[in-house]
Amino acid sequence: MTRRAVARGIGHYLPERIVPNSEFESFLDTSDEWIRTRSGIERRHFAAEGQSTSDLATEAARAALEHAELDVGDIDGIIVATSTPDLTFPSVGTMVQSKLGMTHGFAFDVQAVCAGFIYALGTANALIVAGQAERLLVIGAETFSRIMDWQDRSTCVLFGDGAGALVLEAATGDGTNADRGILATDLHSDGRYREMLYVDGGVSTTGTSGKLRMQGNLLFRQAVEKLTQTADAALAKIGLTGADVDWIVPHQANSRIIAGTAKKMNVPMDRVILTVQDHGNTSAASIPLALSVGVGDGRIKRGDLILSEAIGGGLAWGAVALRW
């Protein structure tokens, strides 16, 4: 028998404020058509004043626990993937722990920008497979609206706020690809590409949070290549290919990147969960948000093979193969 990290519940939360593309036309040289054509984005959600990343993460966690039919007392630990924490420290994870009323176990953050949820899944899988935890809350949560340069039309129209959460629990399988749970992970990073996507501030340099900076054209080319490679590598570890995948649930950065990656994997777009049009790029939150939408509307069903991949600042990228 093989110990697996199996999905038990999923949930998400989006702030109430919806920002359509047209709202940017009042202060930027841009248009709804320009944004849609280049990104596929039609609208996004922005957190309210005073609403923090931990607030979003906590609501998503509650939704996931409800879907899993579990109480916070059933959870051993919390892992939060975020690049927009409430404070430099303590972690968002411990803040979510407190807001849920959880006084046992552990909580911490993972920071790999848009690849954060993939890294968090890899970490959670390792903890569960090693027997260090039985059930974990894995959360991706961001308030990227707090680090936007509102004069940079090439970046500020792309991002949104939100959170998604997944409950993983230990279960035993036969050690085959038919097992439910995480079947393979593939993680990478290369710091030489830092200038392609970064924030120009930090505690030990400027003492400020800084603003997001991106070299979009260069990042686009790196993204399609590296996402395809990591997706194929994760599947190859278990002897599978894109033809075996029921659903690709990718990082929702740009519809053209998503379509380009799916094409290289020979997976039709009708087997891709696409939410970027409604949420924008929510960084580490985008994959669990899309997972939650796909499960909620009935497309993703028990036993489906899911492939998720993401790339973010660092550059950091990776993929996870998961049987739902």
User: In this predicted model, what pLDDT tens digit does every residue of 82-130 receive, in sequence order?
Assistant: 999 999 999 999 999 999 999 999 999 999 999 999 999 999 999 999 9
Q: Work out the burial of residue 103: count CB atoms within 10 Å of its CB; fewer than 13 is exposed, 13-18 middle, 19 or more buried.
A: exposed
Neighbours of 188 (CB within 10 A): 16
Degrees, nearest 5: CA angle 124-311-196:
135
Give the per-residue pLDDT at 250.
98
Q: What is the pLDDT of residue 19?
A: 98
Residue 197: phi and psi, rounded to 5, are -155, 115
pLDDT score recorded for residue 57: 99
**What residues are labeled active site?**
114, 251, 281
- The whole-number average pLDDT for the span 233-244 is 98
Structure tokens at 316: 């950091």
Question: For position 249, what pLDDT does the model report?
Answer: 98
pLDDT digits (tens, 9 = 90+) for 125-176: 999 999 999 999 999 999 999 999 999 999 999 999 999 999 999 999 999 9
pLDDT range class, residue 78, cuts 50, 70, 90: very high
R_g of the chain, CA atoms, integer Å:
18
Give percent of the chain above pLDDT 70: 100
**Average pLDDT score over residue span 281-306:** 98
How many whole angstroms separate alpha carbon 318 and alpha carbon 175?
A: 23
